[in-house]
């Protein structure tokens, strides 16, 4: 294939990757588990100057559902937590203290991710699928647009080159759609795991599935049923 065709294919590849990167970034900010990268949008103004969070504080992840923010200068901690709240108001904040070897106390921010109860489970699932739909619409539109452009570009190309270019473009498109599905399903699984984690701590919130009522033996006592989680292509 000629150089122009190769460049066009490379551009198309980058465009599809860009859509999936944006999709992944949007899901990352639907915080289920603690993700330090979700704090990337946070900027902090100190003495009239704006800083990225990593310039003024250290972020630690003690476990899957918590983050610690340790300010380089503890006098700035309250300002830092205010700016984090602007970006992630759903984070649950607790100011903790600890002593160093010299018995001096130090303050740091301890964030818990919000529990994924049934309402949050439904909301996160809906948003994830909505962002997926937006991503695939963008991928489909980009593919259709590039196909139209290639009609003129390949008009005078050898048949072998034209077929190869069309095949590569289709492969790029298919790979992009497959990656979007993988990103979506990984997030849905993360949401499901967090929901099950919540139910383990709150068994009284396990919901009753009325659709299965007729399948229960009338002589058996009532009990709650949790639907099996299945990934969907919808």
Give pLDDT tens digits for 200-223: 887 776 765 444 444 444 444 443
How many domains in the chain? 2
Whether residue 27 has pLDDT greater than 70: yes
The enclosing domain of 44 has a CATH number of 3.30.1360.40
Could you tell me which residues come within 8 angstroms of residue 227 by beta carbon, excluding any fewer than 6 positions away? 209
Beta bridge partners, 70, equal: 58
Could you tell me which residues come within 8 angstroms of residue 16 by beta carbon, excluding any fewer than 6 positions away? 139, 142, 172, 173, 175, 176
Give pLDDT tens digits for 55-74: 999 999 999 999 999 999 99
Q: What is the pTM of this model?
A: 0.75
Host domain of residue 12: 3-29+117-215
> pLDDT confidence of 85, banded at 50, 70, 90?
very high
Do 139 and 210 belong to one domain? Answer: yes
Q: For 212, phi and psi rounded to 5 degrees? A: -95, 5
Do 88 and 194 belong to one domain? Answer: no
Do 99 and 165 belong to one domain? Answer: no
**Residue 124: what pLDDT?**
96
**Residue 200: what pLDDT?**
87
Give pLDDT tens digits for 148-191: 777 666 666 666 666 787 888 899 999 999 999 999 999 999 99
At 177 the three-state DSSP class reads: helix
């Amino acid at each position: 294939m000629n150089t122009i065709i190769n460049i066009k294919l490379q551009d198309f590849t980058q465009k599809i990757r860009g859509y999936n990167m944006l999709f992944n970034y949007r899901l990352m900010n639907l915080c289920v588990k603690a993700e330090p990268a979700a704090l990337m949008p946070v900027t902090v103004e100190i003495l009239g100057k704006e800083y990225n969070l990593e310039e003024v504080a250290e972020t630690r992840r003690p476990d899957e559902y918590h983050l610690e923010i340790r300010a380089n200068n503890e006098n700035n901690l309250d300002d830092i937590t205010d700016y984090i709240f602007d970006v992630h108001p759903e984070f649950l904040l607790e100011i903790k203290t600890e002593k160093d070897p010299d018995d001096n106390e130090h303050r740091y921010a301890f964030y818990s991710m919000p529990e994924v109860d049934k309402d949050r489970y439904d909301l996160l699932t809906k948003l994830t699928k909505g962002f997926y739909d937006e991503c695939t619409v963008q991928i489909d539109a980009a593919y259709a647009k590039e196909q139209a452009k290639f009609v003129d570009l390949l008009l005078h190309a050898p048949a072998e080159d034209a077929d190869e270019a069309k095949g590569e473009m289709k492969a790029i498109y298919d790979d992009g759609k497959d990656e979007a599905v993988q990103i979506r399903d990984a997030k849905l699984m993360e949401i499901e795991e967090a929901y099950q984690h919540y139910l383990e701590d709150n068994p009284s919130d396990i919901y009753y599935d009325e659709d299965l009522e007729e399948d229960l033996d009338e002589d058996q006592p009532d009990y709650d049923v949790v639907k099996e989680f299945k990934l969907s292509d919808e």
